[in-house]
A and B are shown apart, each in its own frame.
Chain A
Amino acid sequence: DADVTQTPRNRITKTGKRIMLECSQTKGHDRMYWYRQDPGLGLRLIYYSFDVKDINKGEISDGYSVSRQAQAKFSLSLESAIPNQTALYFCATSDLWGNTGELFFGEGSRLTVL
Chain B
Amino acid sequence: AQSVTQPDIHITVSEGASLELRCNYSYGATPYLFWYVQSPGQGLQLLLKYFSGDTLVQGIKGFEAEFKRSQSSFNLRKPSVHWSDAAEYFCAVGAWNNDMRFGAGTRLTVKP
Interface of A with B (CB < 8 Å)? 33, 35, 40-45, 48, 56, 58-59, 90, 94, 99-103, 105-108
Contact = CB atoms under 8 A, between A and B. Distances in A.
A69 B13 CA distance: 46
Contact of B43 (A41, A44, A94, A108): A108
Q: Interface size bucket, B side?
A: 20 to 34
A90 B44 contact: yes
A56 B49 contact: no
Interface of B: 1, 6, 9, 32, 34, 36, 42-46, 49, 51, 90, 92, 94-96, 99-105
Given A45-B99, A45-B100, A101 B43 contact: no
A102 B46 contact: yes
A11 B104 CA distance: 24
28 contacts: A33-B100, A35-B102, A40-B9, A40-B104, A40-B105, A41-B104, A42-B6, A42-B90, A42-B103, A42-B105, A43-B90, A43-B102, A44-B102, A45-B100, A56-B99, A59-B101, A99-B51, A100-B51, A101-B34, A101-B49, A101-B51, A101-B100, A102-B34, A103-B34, A103-B36, A103-B44, A105-B44, A106-B43
